Amino acid sequence: MMKMPVFRITAITSFLTGTAAFIAAPNLYAEWGLNLPPPSSPVAADILDLHNMIMLVCLIILIIVSGAMFWSVFRHRKSRGAVAAKFSHSTKLEIVWTIIPFLILVGMAIPSTNVLLKMEDTTDSTLTIKVTGYQWKWRYEYPEQGISFFSTLSTARDQIENKADKGENYLLEVDNPIVLPEGRKVRILLTANDVIHAWWIPKFGVKKDAIPGYINEMWVNVDEPGTYRGQCAELCGKDHGYMPIVAEVLSEQDFNAWVESQTQLQAVADEAADKTWSSEELMARGKEVYGQCAACHGAEGQGVPGAFPAIAGSAIATGPIDSHVDLVMNGRPGTAMAAFKTQLNDLDVAAVITYQRNSFGNNTGDAVQPAEIKAKR
């Protein structure tokens, strides 16, 4: 009898919480996914099958084991007049429950090994893409096609700060997605520039760490054209949560067209570097590029005290141009300030420096031309 109120109180509390949870959860986004997402590549399909299999085995084990326990809990209780038996061991039983689990494990290990062997086989690929992780963006390079670009989060700051409604692909959208051809085995080479990141798209069934100084390999072969989303999956600092991965999978034809257009863009950019730019043009361009710096130095150039210096009033951004250019191009080893010459083209470096020197209250009036940057490379 003593237990009744206890049960009742807990029952009421848990009922209330459950209801609260339902009401609080805005059903707007209702997805309630319970399992791995539907696979879009052979590897992901294999993993899903494997997952379902081991999941089932584990569930069955859980049901049997806890079934035995709860049966005993309900039947062998003193209040039902149970009298304790005296037995305290049984060698036979103990051998049985050592061997059976072992056999179950062997049964699980065999298909797992097969899937693993398949995943690790990167031979016979027809396209290679190099992926480099940066704090906090991805760089995609197609060495054979001579294409290279960066990919950063494109969700507006206002959405993150709850000042605007969140879009459908909140935090899972980027400016330049990686583009893959459909139905081809693509080999991906992974590395990183600063700290460890991990490249992961759940529907592709691949996840691998991008480690500075080392190259990891993996492959994907996507069944269908479409847009696929994932996220950086290794803690890489402040904006680890804002480093999405979006893959655009195109048909063979569209892919070739895309390669063509990228090659042209590259040529335009090269030309731009030789031209002389007006301050306004540089400032406009610089404001855009500064988006990459804002993660650390703040949208208003205010920095993060103790971690990232402010640009507003910074001795470097208001001092001699050369040391400013040098810092941005070569970074500062051992800190999060990277060498941006490997990440930005001449125009962008020139523009962002101009922008930093003439914003947030800095007004040096300087304008840096791309040609000056080119000369320093």
Partner 1 sequence: MSGVPGSYYLPNPSVWPIIGSIGLFSLALGFAMLLNDVGAGPWIMLCGVAIILYMMAGWFGTVIGESESGHYNDHVDMSFRLSMGWFIFSEIMFFAGFFGALFYARMLAVPWLADTELLWPGYGGGWPTAGPEGETAIAADTPVQAGQFSTIGAWGIPFVNTAILLTSSVTVTIAHWALKNNDRGKLVLWLAITVVLGAIFLVLQAMEYIHAYSELGLTLGTGVYGATFFMLTGFHGFHVTIGAIILTVILFRCIRGHFKPKYHFAFEAAAWYWHFVDTVWVGLFIFVYVL
Partner 2 sequence: MATADIAHHDDHDHHPYGFMRWVTTTNHKDIGTMYLIFSLVMFFVGGAMAMMIRAELFQPGLQVIDPQTFNMMTTMHALIMIFGAVMPGFVGFANWQIPLMIGAPDMALPRLNNWSFWILPFAFTMLLGTLLVEGGGPAGGWTLYAPLSIQGGMGVDMTILAIHMMGISSVLGAINVIVTIFNMRAPSMTLMKMPLFVWTWLITAFLLIAVMPVLAGAVTMLLTDRHFGTAFFDPAGGGDPVLFQHVFWFFGHPEVYILILPAFGVISEIIPTFARKPLFGYDSMVFATAGIAFLSFIVWAHHMFTVGMPLTGELFFMYSTMLIAVPTGVKVFNWISTMWRGSMTFETPMLFAVAVVFLFTIGGLSGLMLAITPADFQYHDTYFVVAHFHYVLFSGSIMAMMGAVYYWLPKWTGHMYNEKLGQLHFWLTAIFFNITFFPQHFLGLAGMPRRIPDYALQFTEFNVVSSIGAFGLGIAQLLFVYIVVQTIRGGQKASDEVWEGSHGLEWTLPSPPPYHTFATPPQVR
Where on the chain is the footprint of ligand HEC (CB under 6 A)?
Answer: 135, 292-293, 295-297, 308-309, 311, 314-317, 324, 327-328, 332, 335-337, 340, 352, 356
In 3D space, the residue among 265, 263, 276, 266 whose CA is nearest the CA of residue 350 turns out to be 276
Instruction: Kindly state the smallest distance separating residue 147's Cβ from partner 2, in Å.
Output: 25
Residue-wise over 220-256: b if at least 16 C-beta within 10 A, else e? bbbeebeebbbbbbbebeeebebbbbbbbbbeeeebe
- Does 61 bind ligand HEA (CB under 6 A)? Our answer is yes
Residue 149 phi/psi, 5-degree rounding, is -155, 165
DSSP-assigned beta bridge partners for residue 224: none
- Does 57 bind partner 1 (CB under 8 A)? Our answer is no
In 3D space, the residue among 102, 99, 152, 144 whose CA is nearest the CA of residue 126 turns out to be 144
- Does 41 bind partner 1 (CB under 8 A)? Our answer is no
Which amino acid belongs to residue 229?
Answer: R
- Does 79 bind partner 2 (CB under 8 A)? Our answer is yes
DSSP summary character for residue 36: P
* Cβ closest to ligand CUA, residue 170 vs residue 258: 170
- In whole angstroms, what separates CA 76 from the centre of its chain? 51
* Alpha carbon separation from 96 to 30, 38, 93, 110, 131 (Å, rounded): 46, 39, 5, 22, 50
- Does 336 bind partner 2 (CB under 8 A)? Our answer is yes
Q: Which stretch binds ligand HEA (CB under 6 A): 17-25, 98-106, 115-123, 176-184?
A: 98-106
Q: Which does 29 bind (CB under 5 to 8 A by kind): ligand CUA, partner 2, partner 1, none?
A: partner 2
- Does 139 bind ligand CUA (CB under 6 A)? Our answer is no
Task: Name, in order, each residue with C-beta under 8 angstroms of 302's C-beta and a sequence gap of 6 or more.
Answer: 310, 312, 360
Which amino acid belongs to residue 349?
Answer: V
Contact 304, 316 (CB under 8 A): no
Query: Which one of 42, 183, 241, 303 is in contact with partner 2 (CB under 8 A)?
Result: 241
Q: Which does 215 bind (CB under 5 to 8 A by kind): ligand CUA, ligand HEA, partner 1, none?
A: partner 1
Query: Which one of 108, 127, 171, 189 is in contact with partner 1 (CB under 8 A)?
Result: 189
Q: Which does 189 bind (CB under 5 to 8 A by kind): partner 2, ligand CUA, partner 1, none?
A: partner 1
Residue that is written with structure tokens 């930005």 in the block: 344
* Cβ closest to partner 2, residue 236 vs residue 353: 236
Angle between helices 346-357 and 279-297 (to 10 degrees): 80
* Cβ closest to partner 2, residue 212 vs residue 226: 212
* Cβ closest to ligand HEC, residue 172 vs residue 293: 293
- Does 215 bind partner 1 (CB under 8 A)? Our answer is yes
Instruction: Kindly state the smallest distance separating residue 219's Cβ from ligand CUA, in Å.
Output: 21
Kindly identify the residues of this chain, within the stretch 335-374, that bind ligand HEA according to CB under 6 A: none
CA atoms within a 13 Å half-sphere pointing along the CA-CB vector of 31: 6
Instruction: Kindly state the smallest distance separating residue 194's Cβ from ligand HEA, in Å.
Output: 19
Kindly identify the residues of this chain, within the stretch 105-134, that bind ligand CUA according to CB under 6 A: 133
Which amino acid belongs to residue 355?
Answer: Y
Query: Which one of 35, 123, 276, 278 is in contact with partner 2 (CB under 8 A)?
Result: 35
Query: Which one of 38, 94, 300, 322 is in contact with partner 2 (CB under 8 A)?
Result: 94
What is the C-alpha to C-alpha distance for residues 375 and 322, in angstroms, rounded to an integer? Answer: 12
- Does 107 bind ligand HEA (CB under 6 A)? Our answer is no
Q: Which stretch binds partner 1 (CB under 8 A): 201-209, 212-220, 222-230, 344-352?
A: 212-220
Both tokens assigned to 139: 């760089």
Contact 350, 277 (CB under 8 A): yes
- Does 45 bind partner 2 (CB under 8 A)? Our answer is no
DSSP summary character for residue 126: S
Q: Which helix (H) or strand (E) holds 202?
A: none
* Cβ closest to ligand HEC, residue 47 vs residue 296: 296
- Does 127 bind ligand HEA (CB under 6 A)? Our answer is no
Could you count the other beta carbons within 10 Å of the beta carbon of residue 326?
14
Footprint of ligand HEA on this chain (CB under 6 A)? 61, 65, 101, 104-105
Question: Can you give the binding site for ligand CUA, defined by CB under 6 A?
Answer: 133, 136, 197, 232, 234-236, 240, 243
